[in-house]
Amino acid sequence: MTKALVTGAGSGIGAAIARAFDKRGYGLILVDRDVAALDAVAATLGTAPEKILCDLASRDSVETLCERLRGDLADLDILVNNAGIIVPGAVTDLDQAALDLHLEINMRTPIRLMRAAAPQMIARGSGAMVSTVSLGGVISLKDSAIYSASKFGLRGFLCGFHQELAPFGVKVSGVYPAAVDTPMLLHEATHGGSVLNFVDKVMSPEDIAEATMKAVDTGKLEVYSPWSASVTARFFASFPWMIGPLLPLMEKLGEQGRRNFHAAKCLSADKK
């Protein structure tokens, strides 16, 4: 049986990925710091998963998980680094703990887990490692500078690591979503997050799960969802000096999108 481990599996994209793997009949190891959230996701699956409680901001907890990847989970076929964090705001308004948390969860921990899983996959000549990155790892915008820094770092690692492991038959990929309808996005929408999240279509967690399946199957270095948003992001990443002049217009469009998104969420909550 194919065995897959998913971090941040307690909600949102991670839960959708878990359900997609479950439909394929994979054996699942779900990692999150919230036991109640893991139990809720497990209840939606056809086969009971193994649940691992792990605080991915804790280096000791992550090392314990790494030891398992080198030990009783050495036969792992697929590793999905999905957990992430964003605290919106200007760099000067964030405390050092918030800055460190972005770098720890979004970049350092995924690298540690991939490094721990790689030797076993190399020895077998097979395996896949996929990380949920973000279009924030392609282009950096105000009020998300530290988030983008962590995602830029992860993207750079994936690019080099992909090249290192390809000769051994091990796939390394990144999935690059635009805005996704998750609790994290709702928090951004209501707590001063970038309105540029709402310029384009807001994707569903299931959309990103589908992109993750594509990455697992193909081993493609970068999988974007949606493709249209990636074209815009990569264009401005090539010409970052153009962002400033166009920012007012982009923010106007984004603010309208944010209001529409928030109104839709409020309407949905009222119906419940």
Catalytic residue numbers read 147
Alpha helix ranges (H) inside 133-192: 145-165, 183-190
> Contact, 122 vs 168, CB < 8 A?
yes
CA angle 112–215–20, rounded 5-degree value: 95
Burial of 240 (0-12, 13-18, 19+ CB in 10 A): exposed
Provide the 3-class DSSP secondary structure of residue 8.
coil
Strand order in the sheet with 27-32: 50-53, 27-32, 3-7, 78-81, 128-132, 171-177, 222-225
